[in-house]
């Protein structure tokens, strides 16, 4: 590089978390992270949950380095290496940057604005942010980065878009057609509200990677789900989102969450992510919807006990009251409701009619750590 004076290139980007409403579970190729079925997610707003990554590319760095929440991480992690290699390959191929930069190294600093202990899909946001920010650093402004993000963490490919995002499983063996696509942007359905119910004593005993492997190897039902159930659900879900048909959206979301956990349970040894608090939330949502004879509230659970609820905006006060009544905080607990409704008036206690209709006893105080109120949000951005 003698004689070349290259300015350091530095970008800071953020990327969102996404929550699947048609679940991804099972890889057909572990190396390339290719799924056995398509999936569909809602991108959550970055005000409440986001990964933030600053990357500097410099010819003066001797090696690539990475810090996560100020702690240096081992960058030799094969998934990170694959993302770096793919971005550099694409930069070389498209001549997106002065070739001399390709001999430089990067320093990557990443952090989350949400509790990492709570198991809230930090790897999806993290890898989407890493790949998006790398694409900025390497001048890859108009390319589909979902294929690269996918190779960091499967569901990360869905975090490269805002709004409602499908991940089409693809057919090709090299995975080039296993890409994310935006179904509708975040402003398409501004009314949709999201509550994350963070359950206490979170312990994810089985990682998604190893859980999926166990399920693919041992479940008798997983292929039937992938081949015969999910394709129709993908079509129905896209239609429901396009039409803002909450009833269909809610029913499919709940059914698909149930089926994902059913496949986990059908694995051997069985994988059980939901606990008694999760079960109670399912019963509460079911009773509430029964009371109104139509779905006003939907739940979904990822690979852990935390619930994510969806509801149209008009119900949000009632539902915050419902959750706070049936899943009360520990006495004196602060910041029980976070995000959009944080610090607002105490939500109303459910009416006697509602309480009689629901017919459940409130859960013991402190079973939920806290509630995050958020909304559908945009995709990665440079700040």
Minimum CB–partner distance for residue 250 and a copy of itself (Å): 11
Specify the residue, 51 or 264, whose C-beta has the smaller distance to a copy of itself.
264
**Range in contact with a copy of itself (rule: CB under 8 A) among 23-31, 191-199, 217-225, 346-354:** 217-225
Considering only residues 99, 270, 348, 365, which one is a binding residue for a copy of itself as defined by CB under 8 A? 270
CA 262 to chain CA mean position, Å: 20
**366 is a site residue for a copy of itself (CB under 8 A):** no
CB 219 within 8 A of CB 267: yes
CB 223 within 8 A of CB 270: no
Specify the residue, 10 or 275, whose C-beta has the smaller distance to a copy of itself.
275
**111 is a site residue for a copy of itself (CB under 8 A):** no
Burial class, 314, CB count within 10 angstroms (exposed 0-12 / middle 13-18 / buried 19+): exposed
Minimum CB–partner distance for residue 38 and a copy of itself (Å): 16
Q: Quickly list H helices, 195-315.
A: 208-218, 222-224, 230-242, 246-265, 276-291
**202 is a site residue for a copy of itself (CB under 8 A):** no
Considering only residues 202, 275, 315, 330, which one is a binding residue for a copy of itself as defined by CB under 8 A? 275
Considering only residues 255, 321, 357, 381, which one is a binding residue for a copy of itself as defined by CB under 8 A? 255
Question: How far is Cα 147 from Cα 56, in angstroms, rounded to an integer?
Answer: 23
* Site track 219-238 with a copy of itself (rule: CB under 8 A), x = hit: -xx--xx--xx---------
Q: Give Cβ neighbours of residue 184 (< 8 Å, ≥ 6 apart).
A: 163, 164, 241, 242
Specify the residue, 54 or 221, whose C-beta has the smaller distance to a copy of itself.
221
CB 194 within 8 A of CB 373: yes
**291 is a site residue for a copy of itself (CB under 8 A):** no
**355 is a site residue for a copy of itself (CB under 8 A):** no
**267 is a site residue for a copy of itself (CB under 8 A):** yes
Number of residues written out for the chain? 383
Minimum CB–partner distance for residue 263 and a copy of itself (Å): 7
Specify the residue, 209 or 251, whose C-beta has the smaller distance to a copy of itself.
251
**258 is a site residue for a copy of itself (CB under 8 A):** yes
Q: Give Cβ neighbours of residue 159 (< 8 Å, ≥ 6 apart).
A: 15, 16, 17, 18, 43, 124, 125, 127, 128, 129, 149, 165, 379, 380
Identify the residue whose tokens are 């976070």: 338
**Range in contact with a copy of itself (rule: CB under 8 A) among 49-57, 72-80, 279-287, 334-342:** 279-287
Specify the residue, 227 or 344, whose C-beta has the smaller distance to a copy of itself.
227
Question: How far is Cα 329 from Cα 336, in angstroms, rounded to an integer?
Answer: 7
| 362 phi and psi angles, rounded to 5 deg | -60, 150
Q: State the residues that interact with a copy of itself by CB under 8 A.
A: 220-221, 224-225, 228-229, 251, 254-255, 258-259, 261-263, 265-270, 272, 275-276, 279, 282, 286
């Amino acid at each position: 590089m003698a004689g070349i004076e290259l300015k350091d290139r530095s970008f800071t980007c953020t990327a969102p978390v996404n929550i699947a409403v048609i679940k991804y579970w099972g890889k057909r190729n572990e190396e390339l992270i290719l799924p056995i079925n398509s999936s569909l997610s809602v991108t959550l707003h970055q005000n409440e949950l986001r990964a933030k990554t600053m990357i500097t590319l410099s010819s003066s760095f001797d090696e690539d380095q990475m810090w996560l929440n100020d702690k240096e991480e081992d960058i030799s992690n094969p998934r990170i290496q694959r993302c770096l290699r793919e971005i550099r390959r694409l930069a070389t191929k498209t001549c997106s940057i002065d070739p001399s930069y390709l001999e430089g190294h990067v320093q990557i600093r990443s952090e989350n604005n949400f509790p990492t202990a709570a198991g809230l899909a930090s790897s999806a946001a993290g890898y989407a942010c890493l790949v998006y920010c790398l694409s900025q650093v390497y001048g890859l402004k108009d390319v589909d980065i979902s294929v690269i993000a996918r190779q960091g963490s499967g569901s990360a490919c869905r975090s490269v878009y805002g709004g409602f995002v499908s991940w089409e499983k693809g057919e090709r063996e090299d995975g080039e057609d296993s890409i994310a696509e935006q179904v509708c942007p975040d402003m398409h359905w501004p009314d949709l509200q999201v509550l994350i119910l963070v359950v206490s004593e979170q312990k994810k005993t089985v990682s998604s990677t190893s859980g999926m492997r166990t399920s693919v190897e041992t479940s008798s039902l997983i292929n039937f789900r992938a081949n015969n159930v999910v394709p129709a659900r993908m079509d129905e879900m896209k239609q429901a989102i396009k039409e803002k048909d909450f009833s269909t959206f809610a029913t499919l979301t709940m059914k698909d969450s149930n089926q994902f956990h059913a496949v986990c349970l059908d694995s051997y040894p069985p994988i059980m992510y939901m606990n008694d608090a999760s079960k109670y939330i399912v019963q509460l949502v079911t009773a509430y919807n029964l009371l109104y004879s139509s779905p006003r509230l939907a739940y979904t659970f990822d690979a852990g006990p935390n619930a994510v609820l969806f509801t149209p905006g008009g119900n949000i006060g009632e539902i915050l009251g419902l959750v706070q009544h049936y899943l009360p905080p520990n006495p004196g607990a602060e910041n029980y409701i976070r995000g959009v409704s944080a610090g607002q008036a105490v939500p109303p206690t459910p009416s006697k009619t509602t309480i009689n209709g629901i017919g459940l006893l409130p859960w013991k105080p402190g079973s939920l750590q806290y509630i995050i109120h958020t909304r559908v949000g945009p995709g990665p951005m440079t700040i």
